[in-house]
Amino acid sequence: MTRPYPWRCGTCGNKSVGPAVVPFTATLKHENTVHEVHLEAMPANKCDVCGEISVGEDADTMARDKLRETLGLLPAEVILQNRKLLEKKQDELAELLRVSEASISHWENGRIQSRSSDVLLRLYFAIPQVRHFLQERMANPKLGEQVNEDWSAWRAELALPPNYPINNSWTTMYTVTNDNQNPYGLAS
């Protein structure tokens, strides 16, 4: 429970701190690159006398969410939702993707995934054949050691049933777009 306003200001000592919404800029490092993230409306506390501003714990979360959006990475809630839709526990998804269970937990709780991990997550969530491949990789460690451009050979290597939905033109089902209505870049 939050104590009632006004609060005493730690800078000037006046009892004049109240809720405010202010512009906010955060500096975050991701994959050895420093990014500046600008938020137009950050909930904060502001002293009406000296102007001192303090932001709460949600500032970090909002800044990370904005950086994910800027970099085009899957939001934490989408990672969590998709994992649950596929009925995978964190440890099961971690094993398939060959990452730690802690990584899955971190990504679902707001820590920003690497771009390469984001690509792997997107492929896993979007394409059933990728999920099948990763599941099979567990049983066949040699799978993927050589380039295979023939879908029928890939079907045989994975021991897929004849009616499994793959054909030599399968890759044309997916095209990259820059469409805001289609944020995952998949065309049906």
Average pLDDT of the residues in 119-142: 87
Amino acid present at 58: D
pLDDT at site 186: 43
Per-residue pLDDT band for 162 (boundaries 50, 70, 90) equals low
Say whether pLDDT at 7 is over 90: yes
Give the pLDDT confidence of 18-75 residue by residue, as tens digits: 999 999 999 999 999 999 999 999 999 999 999 999 998 889 999 999 999 999 999 9
Both tokens assigned to 69: 């959006």
pLDDT, mean over the chain: 84
Helix (H, G, I), strand (E, B) or coil at 73: coil
pLDDT of residue 156: 67
pLDDT score at 87:
96
User: Which domains can be identified in the chain, with CATH numbers?
Assistant: 15-71 (no CATH), 74-126 (1.10.260.40), 134-188 (no CATH)
Interior angle at CA 24, CA 18 and CA 26, nearest 5: 130
Provide the percentage of residues in the chain whose pLDDT is more than 90.
64
The yes-or-no verdict on residue 141 having pLDDT over 80 is no
Cβ density class 21-55: b for 16+ within 10 Å, e for less: eeebebebebeeeebebebeebebbbbeeeebeeb
**Residues 58 and 45: beta-carbon distance below 8 Å:** no
Cα 39 from Cα 131, distance rounded (Å): 37
Residue 124 scores a pLDDT above 80? yes
Cis amide leading into 6 (omega within 30): yes
